[in-house]
Amino acid sequence: MSLKTSSDDNSTVSTQKKIYKPNNPLTRMDKRGQGMSVSTLILIILGIFILVVLILGFVLGWSKLAFWIKSDNNSGDIANKCEYACGIQSQYDFCVASTKLTLPEADLAEADKATGYKMGTCKFFATDEYYSRVGIQDCPEITCA
C-alpha cells in the first residue's frame, strides 16, 4: 500500500519499505550511454601518441627520433656522401669537411679502437692505407691541396 502525500510534493512513500521514490521525470533519466569506456580512452591516447611520433619523425627526421637505433657501421653512408661530393665536384666536401667514420671495433685501426670511430675527410678515407679498404673511392676530378 502506498500513501499519497500532499499534491504539490510529487513523491510517494511506501508504507511497506519506507523508500522515497521521486515522481519527477527529469530525475528518472536513463543514465546509459553517458561517459566513455576505458578501452575507448586507451585507443584515443594511443592514437594521439602515434600521431605525435609520426609528426616528430617527419619534422625532425627519423634518425634523430630513433636515437636508440645506432649502427656500428656508417661506411656506406660516408661512401655515398663522398661519391656525391665527387659527382658535384665539391672540393670542400671531399677535401676539407671532416666526417666521423664508425666501424666495428675489429675493423678500426689500433689507435682508433679506444674512441670507436675515426675522424677524417673523404680524401683521407679514400687514400689511407688502412681505411681505403672500407669502400670509399678517390675522386680524380678533384685536386686536394
Residues spanned by the domain of 105: 75-134
pTM over 0.75: no
pLDDT-derived band of residue 24, with 50, 70 and 90 as boundaries? low
Q: Is residue 141 part of a domain?
A: no
Residue 78 burial (CB < 10 Å; 0-12/13-18/19+)?
buried
What contacts 22, CB < 8 A, 6 or more positions away? 10, 11, 28
DSSP secondary structure string for all residues of 66-132: TTT---S--HHHHHHHHHHHHHTT-HIIIII--EEEE--GGGS-GGGTTTTEEEE-HHHHHH-TTGG
Residue 27 lies in a domain: no
- Total count of domains within the chain: 1
Domain assignment present for residue 88? The answer is yes
pLDDT-above-90 percentage for the chain: 31
Q: pLDDT tier at 105 (50, 70, 90 boundaries)?
A: confident
Task: Give the tens place of pLDDT for each residue, 26-73.
Answer: 555 555 556 778 888 999 999 999 999 889 888 887 777 776 666 677
The model's pLDDT over 2-14, given as tens digits with 9 standing for 90+, comes to: 555 555 555 555 5
119 in any annotated domain: yes
145 domain residue, yes or no: no
Residue 82 lies in a domain: yes
Residue 115 CB neighbour total at 10 angstroms: 11
